[in-house]
Chain A
Amino acid sequence: MEHETTVWFAKSFGLFYLIAMSIGVVVYAYWPKNKTSFDSAAQSILDPSVEDKPYEAKRWQ
Chain B
Amino acid sequence: MIAQLTKSERQLALIILLALTICGLAMAIAGRQDPLGVHGAIVMLAGIAGIFGVIYVYYEPEPDEARLALYYDDPTKVAIILAMIWAVLGMFIGDWVAWQLVFPNLTFDASWSSFGRIRPAHTSAVIFGFGGNALIGTSLYVLQRTSRARLPDQISPWFVLLGYNLFCVLAATGYLMGVTQSKEYAEPEWYADLLLVIVWVVYFIIYLRTLARRKEPHIYVANWYYMAFILVVAILHTVNNLAMPVSFGHAKSYSAFSGVQDAMTQWWYGHNAVAFFLTAGFLGMMYYYLPVRAGRPIYSYRMSIISFWGITFMYMWAGSHHLHYTALPQWVQTLGMTFSVMLLVPSWASAGNALLTLNGAWYKVRDDATLRFMMVAAVFYGLTTFEGSFMAIRSVNSLSHYTDWTVGHVHAGALGWVAMITFGSIYASVPWLWKRERMYSPALVEWHFWLAVAGLFTYVFAMWNSGIIQGLMWRTYNDSGTLSYSFIETVVAMKPYYVARAIGGLLFLAGAVVGSYNIWMTIRTAGQPVDARAADLPVTQPAGVPALQPGE
Contacts and interface: CB of A to CB of B under 8 A. Distances in A.
A43 interface: yes
A54 B146 contact: no
Contacts of B309: 21-22, 25
Given A52-B145, A54-B148, A46 B295 contact: yes
B69 interface: yes
A42 B298 contact: yes
A40 B552 CA distance: 13
A56 B215 CA distance: 10
A13 B144 CA distance: 40
B149 A53 contact: no
Contacts of A55: 148-149, 215
A41 B291 contact: no
A49 interface: no
Interface in B158-203: none
Contact of A39 (B288, B306, B432, B549): B549
B69 A45 contact: no
A26 B310 CA distance: 10
A53 B145 CA distance: 8
B215 A58 contact: yes
Q: Is the interface of A mostly helix, strand, loop or mixed?
A: helix
Given A41-B218, A58-B213, A53 B70 contact: yes
Contacts, number: 93
B7 to A, nearest CB: 13
A39 B432 CA distance: 25
A61 interface: yes
Interface in A10-61: 10-11, 18, 21-22, 25-26, 28-30, 35, 37-46, 50, 52-56, 58-61
A25 B552 CA distance: 18
A53 B72 CA distance: 10
A55 to B, nearest CB: 4
Contacts of A44: 146, 216, 220
Contacts of B306: 25-26, 29
B87 to A, nearest CB: 26
A61 B291 contact: no
A13 B296 CA distance: 42
Interface in B294-349: 295-298, 301-303, 305-306, 309-310, 313, 331, 335
Contact of A60 (B213, B292, B335, B552): B213
A1 interface: no
A45 B71 CA distance: 15
Contacts of A59: 68-69, 150
Given A21-B313, A45-B292, A54 B218 contact: no
Of A25, A28, A54, the most chain B CB neighbours within 10 A belong to: A54
A53 B301 contact: no
B550 interface: yes
B333 to A, nearest CB: 13
A51 to B, nearest CB: 10
A38 B549 CA distance: 12
A23 to B, nearest CB: 11
B149 A60 contact: yes
B221 interface: yes
Contacts of B298: 42
B37 interface: no
A18 B70 CA distance: 43
28 contacts: A7-B331, A22-B309, A25-B305, A25-B310, A29-B305, A37-B217, A39-B297, A39-B550, A41-B220, A41-B301, A42-B301, A44-B146, A45-B291, A45-B297, A46-B291, A46-B295, A46-B297, A50-B148, A52-B71, A52-B432, A53-B70, A53-B71, A54-B69, A54-B144, A55-B148, A58-B149, A60-B68, A60-B153
Q: Which 8 A-B pairs have the closest CB atoms?
A: A42-B297, A55-B148, A55-B215, A38-B301, A25-B309, A54-B150, A29-B302, A42-B301
Interface of B: 68-71, 144-146, 148-150, 152-153, 213, 215-218, 220-221, 288, 291-292, 295-298, 301-303, 305-306, 309-310, 313, 331, 335, 432, 549-550, 552
